[in-house]
Amino acid sequence: MTLLINEVCVDINGSSILKNISFVAKKGEIFCLIGTSGAGKSTLLRALNRLQTISKGEIHLDGQSIHKMTPQNLRKSAVMILQTPSLFEGTVEDNILYGLKLNGSYSKNDSVSVAKTLLEKVGLEADLFNRNSLSLSIGQQQRVSIARALAMKPNILLCDEITSALDPQSTLHIQDLLVNLKVEENMSIVLVTHNMDLVQQIADRVGLLIDGQLVEVSPVNEFFKNPSTELGKNFLSTIA
């Protein structure tokens, strides 16, 4: 599913947070939004599934305006995963089955089998299935969050700093999982991150946000070898 953002602006309390943002996130692509803190990356991500109101512009999923979709249908198709795992009190099974219920595909006969398959997909052991979700490590909780999101059969994952609170090993698990979802499921992934090593490992393209403006969109290798703008060069010089 193609996500098209055209001239999107966000104004909050009289301040211009996002200024005429335009880009396309393609089907089967990992598109990473990078930039300085406060540049508007998370605001833009929230706008993509109507958690943030836009002041101007258009956002389309496969040619359909997201503002003509019901919020429920939009958020089944474009699922957001947050920096802090958003699990609720209950077992791992409860959390994943909740995703299946939201998807409308819940049935007593096969839901447990599907949930266990999703747990395996995100690289977690079956013996965690009946564990209290909040007793897991943060890395394990994040993978359960992703399994719950996948239960909704999304076309796009919107990921907001999902590895920032994780140890290096857990980050590698998430990195491999995102790449597998892109390759095996042909899924579109928009990832906000400050982790430049992660970006270089998994991104197809990057978008650089500076002070609410998308100043550069480039294939990942081109950006890190030879950014096309002075702002891009300056950004890389600060993280070298």
Tens of pLDDT, residues 155-214:
999 999 999 888 898 899 899 999 999 999 999 999 999 999 999 999 999 999 999 999
The span from the CA of 104 to the CA of 77, in Å, is 13
Of 204 and 88, the structure prediction assigns the larger pLDDT to 204
Q: Is the dihedral of CA 206, 208, 214, 216 positive or negative?
A: negative
* Domain-located, residue 44: yes
What's the per-residue H, E or C state across 167-208? CHHHHHHHHHHHHHHHHHHCCEEEEECCCHHHHHHHCCEEEE
Comparing C-alpha atoms, which of 65, 71, 36, 49 is closest to residue 208?
A: 36
**How much is the pLDDT for 132?**
94
**How much is the pLDDT for 106?**
61
Answer yes or no: are the C-beta atoms of 198 and 179 closer than 8 Å.
no
* Domain-located, residue 220: yes
* Domain-located, residue 76: yes
* Domain-located, residue 115: no
Comparing C-alpha atoms, which of 47, 72, 64, 74 is closest to residue 2?
A: 64
Percent of the chain with pLDDT over 90: 68
* Domain-located, residue 117: no
Q: Bridge partners of 4?
A: 24, 60
Question: Which segment of 3-7, 110-114, 190-194, 218-222 scores lowest on mean pLDDT?
Answer: 110-114
Question: Whole domain around residue 181: which residue ranges?
Answer: 3-90+156-239
* Domain-located, residue 136: no
**How much is the pLDDT for 105?**
63
* Domain-located, residue 65: yes
pLDDT digits (tens, 9 = 90+) for 47-83: 999 999 999 999 999 899 999 999 988 988 999 999 8
Of 46 and 152, the structure prediction assigns the larger pLDDT to 46
- Phi–psi pair at 197, nearest 5 degrees: -65, -45
**How much is the pLDDT for 207?**
97
Q: What is the CATH number of the domain that holds 65?
A: 3.40.50.300
Mean pLDDT of the chain: 91
The count of structural domains within the chain is 1
